[in-house]
Structure 1
Amino acid sequence: MDSIDLRILSALQEDGRLSNQDLADRVGLSPSPCLRRVRALEKDGVIARYTAIVSPEKVGLPLTVFVQIRLARHDGDTVRAFEDRILGMDEVLSCHLMTGDSDYLLNIVTENLQSYERFMRDKLHAIPGIGAIETSFAFGVIKDSRRLPIHPAS
């Protein structure tokens, strides 16, 4: 990747709905080469996908919960079963494999404490092989970004 590719990525992270013409203008290219570069970045998996960032509060999901999971066993079947079940849970926005005291860190959104309790009882506790669960509730957001720190040369 060269500095033009980095400028393209930076501009698209700022506004993924830019038209090709506007993007080309921002990065100093004509539209055809700009589109070729974007398509190459998509093909190479550098641009993984395009999405809308939705406000959780505006759609009735104001409660953010971070859950640390420690498995009781670390055999292949237990790990696969846990990860497969988590993949099917819409409430789980992200699941990270961790080092340290916990095996996994989950980021969960839900409507309220009652819906979180139902999620815990009906879904999370139903997964075999979990040894410990530790829950932390977020009561504020200081920064929430998916923008990578790409700093192209000007």
Structure 2
Amino acid sequence: MENLDHIDLQILKQLQENSNINTKELASKLFLTVTPVYERIKRLERDGYIMKYVALLDKKKLNLGMTVFCNVRLKEHARNVGSNFVKDIVALPEIIECYNIAGDYDFMLKILVEDMSSYQNFVMNKLSTIENIGNTQSIFVMGEIKHSTALTI
């Protein structure tokens, strides 16, 4: 972050709030002209500070109202076993996040499904077919208190 000045940080903050803002609007908010703001955005993209632009969707409207965190413990920890597990997990669209964690479990999965019946179907017909899973623990979200995609800058 040592290469970023206060203007770069303001650009990043504004884009986190609304990535759909056009360069003219952004320049106006920063009291700059369009060209330097455009060049700064391109540099931030090129340098990897901005990875991509996305639309955040309403999961409930898409019938994905149930969020489950599933902790997974592997039976063994050989390199090829872990790689195969990761490859299998990445292929499942219901799993929207996967973290390799320390502690009693090896991985934490964030899963979105329609309801409990859908989750049971997912576990029985997809998750249970992945080799080397020794133990799982499902945690069902009752309510979402805070959800943010913005990083503290």
| TM-score, structure 2 normalization | 0.96
* 1:28 shift after superposition: 2.5
Per-residue Cα deviation, 1:63-120 (whole angstroms, up to 9, x for no partner): 0000001111110111011000111111111001101111111110001111111111
State the partner residue of 1:117.
120
State the partner residue of 2:48.
45
Give distance in 1, aligned partners of 2:83 and 2:41. 35
Return the structure number with greater relative CO, CA threshold 8 A, min gap 6.
1
Give distance in 1, aligned partners of 2:125 and 2:47. 40
Match 1:102 to one of 100, 105, 113: 105
Unmatched 5+ residue regions in structure 2?
Answer: none
Paired residue total: 150
* % identical aligned pairs: 36
The root-mean-square deviation of aligned C-alpha atoms, in Å, is 0.8
| Moved >6 Å (runs of 4+) | none
Aligned 8 A contact 1:11 1:26 in 2: no
Give distance in 2, aligned partners of 1:131 and 1:120. 14
Unmatched 5+ residue regions in structure 1?
Answer: none
Map of 1:74-113 to 2, 5 A cutoff? 74-113=77-116
